């Protein structure tokens, strides 16, 4: 591994002053909570849990983890906990749910009892979001321990030790960052760990799995554990494996230190799983569809998944906003700094995707163009500043998906890319090219290598660390962008980076792949002003657009365009034919039990965003995406 340029002395000092607190004690308590999870029912979408807790006679409150790290909301799937039974000394113990908090259960441990036994089932619903989403298929499972336990209320999670045991369906294997103590047939005993480590260490299990070591030559080992519904989906092309190795090299060059003993990408591929990524200190839960490795277009559409989650090992788990460091999983998290936690991660994931070769710079520019164009035109930004999208995350995640253009979504991800790109460009300009955001990352997120630790920060810490890299009014820079209700997005980084936003009649390869990956959605919000889901139902209508003025609304379903049966292809044909014409486009749409006619006064054809080079300015954008480490060649023999 080739390490990047040495940071200035002040940054080394700053890094040394950040005294990390251990994320987990390694000494097990003498009498841990014994947790047994029977996952043999996973193919039947049901997991059975047994807990054996040391307890003293008297009142006891047990809680189910509520605020799940990385979910940024109270997403613990309490509605899927069923069949709860408590007992002591072989006799049932009554329980009662708290009248206000549905995640808490009260009971009284009987006189003479030294232990309490708890049993329940964790069901998987057919549909849900994040923690309540689909994690079990007939051939693989992603197990999150927080969904499979109760713990005593009022005690710091770091001080509660669990000894976990897991029984898998016959023939299944597993991958996890947890250390295994013993394997007996299909049953695994894990080494006792604090609750925080357990919740931070999901297990991937399945019938078809494969492990690929990524090195690196120096530093803790990194591997990809692939699970799929069939053996065919496990085949990773040699060039992809080389790009994953490059990702490890580029990330460690960027941050200059690691905060894991080993790192596992738990890559689970199935059309029956919900698709997302979830970060942890020493692993990530990365989910994509069954053909994600085999199909070139799908692979390109998912290229940013692993880089984003990997960056979280530094930004989000090691360095974490102070308001998101909580003693247990019941206390609410403060999410206002997600523009750093997620926004900076999205930016770094975007550039590492290019630096590692997982996507070309052209592909990354197409992605940036699409995000910038939408953010620049979304009307929701005129009432809701960016910082409110972060504060309101607990209601935005998993909330309604219609009317996005009026609501705004969790824009601190995509707009975070624009803002951190602008910061990167500013540092490069103000330092005459000697410094970049890489220097900030090394100082603020890198620190000293070691096992998992949590170092909290405030927005003041972010501003101070940036000021050490390049003196500037960073407080004013962020405040302006976070509080703005101006109609347009902060595109300064793109412009000063040597590019500008322009329009094309045809969709880019990125746009086509992204539409396919999102279930064949059709997004015409930048032209006609509406979007359709894969079933052809309107999901969003932009206020002030031709569709908005005509009275279309989410939930309606177009059935005819200009007097002919509706199809997306026909709509696009009519859009092209009507460009610069005078006649409105006529749409017939189902509106519940009614059919209504709408006239859309739009004559601009299709609009697809592109970035074009501005030769008057240096091309900083391309410099930012350039690799910093020697290219790693694919090894066909290793496949």
Nearest Cα residue to 204 out of 141, 147, 157: 141
Q: Which of residues 320-349 bind Zn ion (CB under 5 A)?
A: 342
Q: Which is nearer to Zn ion, 342 or 461 (CB)?
A: 342
The residue (of 80 and 342) whose beta carbon lies closer to Zn ion is 342
| 436 contacts 427 by C-beta, under 8 angstroms | yes
Binders in 340-399 for Zn ion, by CB under 5 A: 342
Question: Minimum distance between the CB of residue 277 and Zn ion, rounded to whole angstroms?
Answer: 7
**Nearer Cβ to Zn ion (124/135):** 135
60 is written with which tokens? 């006891």
- Whether the bond into 314 is cis, omega within 30 of 0: no
In the block, which residue shows the tokens 């253009």? Answer: 405
Size of the residue set binding Zn ion (CB under 5 A): 1
Closer residue to Zn ion, CB minimum distance, 350 or 530? 350
Contacts of residue 128, defined as CB under 8 A and 6 or more positions apart, other chains included, come to 77, 80, 134, 274
Quote the least distance from Cβ 342 to Zn ion, whole Å: 5
d(CA 297, CA 514): 9
H or E segment at 63? Answer: strand 58-63
Task: Please report, as residue ranges, which positions from 31 to 60 form the binding site for Zn ion (by CB under 5 A).
Answer: none
Count the Cβ atoms, other than its own, within 10 Å of residue 592.
Answer: 9
> Given the complex with Zn ion, which of 158 and 309 has the nearer CB atom?
309
User: Smallest distance, Å, CB 345 to Zn ion?
Assistant: 5
Task: Report, in Å, the least distance between residue 405 CB and Zn ion.
Answer: 23
Give min distance, CB of 40 to Zn ion, in A.
32
Which token pair is 598? 């709408």
Least distance in angstroms from the C-beta of 257 to Zn ion: 20
> In the β-sheet with 538-541, what is the strand arrangement from edge to edge?
522-524, 530-532, 538-541
| Minimum gap (Å) between residue 606 Cβ and Zn ion | 32
| Residues pairing with 538 in the sheet | 532
- Can you tell me the distance from the alpha carbon of 576 to that of 405, in angstroms, rounded to the nearest whole number? 24
Give the residue with the Cβ less far from Zn ion, 302 or 342. Answer: 342
Q: How far is the CB of 354 from Zn ion (least distance, A)?
A: 18
Q: Give the tokens for residue 322.
A: 């102070």
For the CB of residue 133, give the shortest distance to Zn ion in the complex, in Å. Answer: 16
Window 185-244: residues binding Zn ion (CB under 5 A): none
Burial class (CB in 10 A: 0-12, 13-18, 19+), 25: middle
- Taking the least distance from each CB to Zn ion, the nearer of 142 and 611 is 142
Inter-CA distances, 74 with 65, 131, 136, 343, 377, Å: 9, 10, 21, 21, 31
Return the number of the residue (390 or 547) whose C-beta is nearest Zn ion. 390
x-or-dash string of contact with Zn ion, 96-135, rule CB under 5 A? ----------------------------------------
Q: Which is nearer to Zn ion, 7 or 70 (CB)?
A: 70
Task: Give whichever of 229 and 342 is closer to Zn ion, judged by the CB atom.
Answer: 342
Give 185-251 as a DSSP string. Answer: TTEEEEPPEEHHHHHT--EEEESEEEEEE---SSSS-EEEEEEESSSGGG---HHHHHHHHHHHHHH
Closest CB to Zn ion among residues 208, 339: 339
What does the block give as tokens for 21?
Answer: 């607190």
Closest approach of Cβ 140 to Zn ion, in Å? Answer: 23
Find out whether 328 and 199 touch, Cβ atoms under 8 Å. Answer: no
* Greatest Cα pair distance in the chain: 87
In angstroms, the CA 224 to CA 162 distance is: 26
Phi then psi for residue 262, to 5 deg, are: -155, 160
Residue number of the CB closest to Zn ion reads 342
Minimum CB distance to Zn ion smaller for 164 or for 386: 386
Measured from the CB atom, the residue of 208 and 255 that comes closer to Zn ion is: 255
Comparing CB distances to Zn ion, the nearer of 285 and 342 is 342
CB of 279 to Zn ion, least distance (A): 6
Q: List beta partners, residue 62.
A: 105, 152
> Which of 336/342 has CB closer to Zn ion?
342
What does the H/E/C string look like for 565-616? ECCHHHHHHHHHHCCCCCCCEEEEEEECCEEEEEEECCCCCCCEEEEEECCC
Q: How far is the CB of 72 from Zn ion (least distance, A)?
A: 9
Rounded CA separation 150/93 (Å): 15
User: Can you name the residues that pair with 51 across neighbouring β-strands?
Assistant: 35, 118
The helix (H) or strand (E) run that includes residue 33 is strand 33-38
- Strand 283-288 relative to strand 263-269: parallel, antiparallel, unpaired? parallel
Q: How far is the CB of 317 from Zn ion (least distance, A)?
A: 10
Structure tokens at 172: 């299944």
Q: Among residues 135 and 137, whose Cβ is nearest to Zn ion?
A: 135
Nearest distance, CB of residue 131 and Zn ion, angstroms: 15
Site of tokens 């969003």: 540
Three-class HEC string of 446-512:
HCCCCCCEEEEECHHHHHHHHHHHCCCCHHHHHHHHHHCCCCCCCCHHHHHCCEEEEEECCCCHHHH
Is the dihedral angle over the CA atoms 503, 505, 509, 515 positive or is it negative?
positive
CB of 548 to Zn ion, least distance (A): 32
CB of 285 to Zn ion, least distance (A): 11
**Tokens 């549905």 map to which residue?**
102
In the complex, the residues that contact Zn ion under the rule CB under 5 A are 342
């Amino acid at each position: 591994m080739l390490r990047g340029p040495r940071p200035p002395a002040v940054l080394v000092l700053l890094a040394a002053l950040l005294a990390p607190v251990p994320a987990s004690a390694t000494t097990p308590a003498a009498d841990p909570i014994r947790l047994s999870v029977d996952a043999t029912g996973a193919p039947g979408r049901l997991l059975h849990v047994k807990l054996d807790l040391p307890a003293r006679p008297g009142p006891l409150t047990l809680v189910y983890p509520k605020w799940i790290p990385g979910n940024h909301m109270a997403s613990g799937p309490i509605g899927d906990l069923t069949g709860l039974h408590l007992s002591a000394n072989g006799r049932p113990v009554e329980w009662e749910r708290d009248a206000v908090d549905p995640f808490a259960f009260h009971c009284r441990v009987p006189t003479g009892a030294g232990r309490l036994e708890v049993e329940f089932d964790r069901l998987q619903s057919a549909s849900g979001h994040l923690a309540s989403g689909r994690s079990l298929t007939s051939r693989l499972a992603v197990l999150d321990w927080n969904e499979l336990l109760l713990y005593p209320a009022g005690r710091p999670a770091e001080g509660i030790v669990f000894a976990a045991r897991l029984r898998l369906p016959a023939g299944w294997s597993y991958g996890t960052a947890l250390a295994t103590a013993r394997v007996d047939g299909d049953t695994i005993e894990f080494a006792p760990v604090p609750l925080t480590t357990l919740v931070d260490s999901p297990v991937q299990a399945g019938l078809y799995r494969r492990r690929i070591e990524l090195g690196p030559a120096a530093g803790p080992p990194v591997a990809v554990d692939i699970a799929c519904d069939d053996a065919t989906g496990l085949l990773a092309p040699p060039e992809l494996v080389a790009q994953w190795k490059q990702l490890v090299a580029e990330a460690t060059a960027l941050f200059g230190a690691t905060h894991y003993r080993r790192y596992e990408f738990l890559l689970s591929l199935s059309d029956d799983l919900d698709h997302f990524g979830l970060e942890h200190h020493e692993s990530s839960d990365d989910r994509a569809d069954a053909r994600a490795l085999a199909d070139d277009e799908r692979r390109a559409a998912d290229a940013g998944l692993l880089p984003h989650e990997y960056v979280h090992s530094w930004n989000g788990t090691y360095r974490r906003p102070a308001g998101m460091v909580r003693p247990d999983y019941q206390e609410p998290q403060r999410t206002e700094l997600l523009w750093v936690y997620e926004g900076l991660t999205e930016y770094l994931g975007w550039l590492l995707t290019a630096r590692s070769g997982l996507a070309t710079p052209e592909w990354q520019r197409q992605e940036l163009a699409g995000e910038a164009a939408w953010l620049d035109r979304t009307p929701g930004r005129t009432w809701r500043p960016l910082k409110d999208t972060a504060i309101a995350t607990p209601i935005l995640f998993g909330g309604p998906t219609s009317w996005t253009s009026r609501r705004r979504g969790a824009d601190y991800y995509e707009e975070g890319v624009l803002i951190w790109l602008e910061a990167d460009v500013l540092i490069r300009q103000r330092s005459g090219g000697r410094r970049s955001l890489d220097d900030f990352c090394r100082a603020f997120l890198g620190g000293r290598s070691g096992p998992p630790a949590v170092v909290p920060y405030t927005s003041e810490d972010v501003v101070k660390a940036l000021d050490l890299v390049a003196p500037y009014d960073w407080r004013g820079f962020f405040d302006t962008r976070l509080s703005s209700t101006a109609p347009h997005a902060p595109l300064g980084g793109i412009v000063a980076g040597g590019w500008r936003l322009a329009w094309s009649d045809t969709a880019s390869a990125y746009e086509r792949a992204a539409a396919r990956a999102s279930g064949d959605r059709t997004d015409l919000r930048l032209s006609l002003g509406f979007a359709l889901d894969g079933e052809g139902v309107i999901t969003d209508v932009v206020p002030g657009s031709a569709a908005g003025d005509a009275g279309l609304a989410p939930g309606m379903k177009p059935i005819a365009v200009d007097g002919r049966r509706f199809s997306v292809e026909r709509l696009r044909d009519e859009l092209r034919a009507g460009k610069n014409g005078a006649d409105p486009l006529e749409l017939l749409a189902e509106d519940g039990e009614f059919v209504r006619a709408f006239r859309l006064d739009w004559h601009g054809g299709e609009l697809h965003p592109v970035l074009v080079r501005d030769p008057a300015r240096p091309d900083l954008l391309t410099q930012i995406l350039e690799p910093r480490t020697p290219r790693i060649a694919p090894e066909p023999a290793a496949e």
